Structure 1
């Protein structure tokens, strides 16, 4: 396609500038053509018919004088600089018509293809007014995006011709992970404690940080009674302790090939990032230090340990744009790196694919060393396809073979997991929608049991 033809084609695709005939004008010419063909059978000359067509064509151009000039129109876009993946976001477009003529419009905003939209958007603007149009989009992929142009078409009252112009409006949008589960934890942390019966457990007598003095209730350890306050108030009072704060939590995010497996909402990496941010929120709110490390064949991102809920923004800015790499993860290299940067005892919480990890014999060598100083826990997403195959009724020979192969894979995975757990390296799997809840529950359980 030559450059001139390409430019003409772009104009028809809501690009660049130009003037286009509308469907109404084409229908008018179609009806006239049929009428002229009928008249030609009665002896009308072709010269007269061509002259009449040209007269109608040039007469239709008068319609352009009753539509606003391009310099009379201006546009502005209002969009949030930050939006969450998968959540609806409103964008407002403000169009000003400074002419005396009204117009009917339709426009397409320069939103990237990874956003859902409902273009073209249609409407009408009266002369000398400003119209504010609001539409909704959803970002399906994390990352940085530029919205540079807005493609606009409008026509006058007769609607025979349509003018086309492009507004240059540059906006930068950052798409971050979905923080819905993080907000749910901040609003109601108790939901995350009660999953699978995980509850606050009592500490060893006198261990942990002193929290407060309260009235003695049935079931309290008599050794925690505060005899001085009991004598003052003439009521049995007891000391209450809570897990020590200031522990170190290191969250590891696997960005290797297997984390790109698609789930119902996003892929494994998306769910892992959202769950990791929820765990980080819980730890930071409890006064612990949190560091974050994302890796595949090598370390992609490392955020040193920090304390306080404001540290969550530091973590979010560092990992919001990490992507899945089409390579196998090098667990040995990242664990070796972790040994050099994390000297203090911490909880190593890794989000990865359990079935892939248990087959990495080289990682076991490094983890045996790290286990002496750190507590290791891996969290992964259950393979729903494998579970469906196992639970499927073997009504045919093919289904029976698939079921037996799925059961064999499950047995192999359980056997390998048991080998790792015998070394003190815990591994758990959860459903896609329960990944964050499970990870937070186990984190709080580890803190309550003073395993660090």
Structure 2
């Protein structure tokens, strides 16, 4: 609940909300009035592990995640939500607690400046522990990471499920555009046919990852890097419109 105003007490009001200090000043009972909290915490969670170092058109995947975080944070604040962020690999770092104060965008921008991959293996078990300890209110968590195989997902799935029990979790990961380009190329040699078959397998596996996450109620965005920001904005607006948070 968010504080709205102090008003005159009328019979039937909840006496637990009486503002005794204001009542003493006015010489009559005054009441703190609250409204349902409309602003929701929106966290951008950036995987800083080595899966995010993959290059695409002169940038790493983490760079696309940083750009998307900057834009979605600004939009969330303009929509009246609280914007925050943090990075993680073997631990949480670069944390900005979700707020909607005037200086929030500057704080997020300064923090994003120091975010980069650290080439470590991302520890999703530690992510779950830190999220449980540090983010107590139900929040929208936009998790930028990358899964290439179902096996890689299954190793982390128990922790993602645990996070999703208390928060609205959206897993955002990337299509391999180089593999997609291979599918439209003409093939002549046995080697080229083999490479194209492998490419088809990996592309199909990405779709299986989406299905697996959706099966457990975890929302997803599978996107080409250059479309990351737009697709993240659309997902956020969809969640707002459907009142899911």
TM bucket, shorter chain: 0.7 to 0.9
* Cα-to-partner distance string for 1:297-341 (whole Å, 9 max, x where unaligned): 211221111114530111111221222112221122112211111
- 2:146 pairs with 1:365: no
Counterpart of 1:269 (choices 62, 66, 83) is 62
- 2:238 pairs with 1:445: yes
Q: Identify the residue that residue 333 of structure 1 maps to in structure 2.
A: 126
- 2:146 pairs with 1:349: no
Q: How far off is 1:296 after superposition?
A: 1.3
Secondary structure of residue in 2 paired with 1:301:
strand
* Cα-to-partner distance string for 1:264-319 (whole Å, 9 max, x where unaligned): 13111111101111000000111101221111121122111111453011111122
Which of 1 and 2 has higher RCO (CA within 8 Å, sep 6+)?
2
Q: How far off is 1:357 after superposition?
A: 8.1
Counterpart of 2:84 (choices 283, 286, 291) is 291
Unaligned runs of 5+ in 1: 1-243
* Cα distance, 1:417–1:381 mapped onto 2, change above 3 Å: closer
* Cα distance, 1:256–1:299 mapped onto 2, change above 3 Å: same
Q: Identify the residue that residue 248 of structure 1 maps to in structure 2.
A: 41
Q: Is the 8 A contact 1:332 1:362 kept in 2?
A: no
Instruction: For 1:231-246, list aligned pairs within 5 A.
Output: 245-246=38-39
Aligned equivalents of 2:203 and 2:149: distance in 1?
13
Secondary structure of residue in 2 paired with 1:246:
coil
Aligned equivalents of 1:356 and 1:280: distance in 2?
30
Q: Identify the residue that residue 384 of structure 1 maps to in structure 2.
A: 177
Secondary structure of residue in 2 paired with 1:355:
coil
The CA RMSD over aligned residues, in Å, is: 1.8
Q: Identify the residue that residue 203 of structure 1 maps to in structure 2.
A: none
* Cα distance, 1:275–1:309 mapped onto 2, change above 3 Å: farther
Q: Identify the residue that residue 104 of structure 2 maps to in structure 1.
A: 311
Q: Which has the larger radius of gyration?
A: 1
Aligned equivalents of 2:42 and 2:151: distance in 1?
22
Aligned equivalents of 2:177 and 2:169: distance in 1?
25
Q: Is the 8 A contact 1:382 1:430 kept in 2?
A: yes
Deviating above 3 A after TM superposition, structure 1's stretches of 4 or more consecutive aligned residues are none
TM-score w.r.t. length of structure 1? 0.44
Q: Is the 8 A contact 1:350 1:377 kept in 2?
A: yes
Aligned equivalents of 2:181 and 2:77: distance in 1?
38
Instruction: For 1:105-144, list aligned pairs within 5 A.
Output: none
Q: Is the 8 A contact 1:335 1:363 kept in 2?
A: no
Aligned equivalents of 2:149 and 2:112: distance in 1?
23
Q: How far off is 1:427 after superposition?
A: 1.9
Which structure: greater helix fraction? 2
Aligned pair count?
209
Aligned equivalents of 1:309 and 1:445: distance in 2?
25
Q: Is the 8 A contact 1:246 1:287 kept in 2?
A: yes
Secondary structure of residue in 2 paired with 1:359:
helix
Counterpart of 1:403 (choices 157, 171, 196) is 196
* Cα distance, 1:416–1:441 mapped onto 2, change above 3 Å: closer
Q: How far off is 1:380 after superposition?
A: 2.4
Q: How far off is 1:370 after superposition?
A: 2.3
Secondary structure of residue in 2 paired with 1:354:
coil
* Cα-to-partner distance string for 1:202-257 (whole Å, 9 max, x where unaligned): xxxxxxxxxxxxxxxxxxxxxxxxxxxxxxxxxxxxxxxxxx84011111001111
Further displaced range: 408-417 or 336-345: 408-417
Aligned equivalents of 1:315 and 1:357: distance in 2?
33
TM-score w.r.t. length of structure 2? 0.79
Aligned equivalents of 1:377 and 1:332: distance in 2?
17
Which structure: greater strand fraction? 1
Aligned equivalents of 1:398 and 1:309: distance in 2?
58
Q: Identify the residue that residue 7 of structure 2 maps to in structure 1.
A: none
* Cα distance, 1:357–1:256 mapped onto 2, change above 3 Å: farther
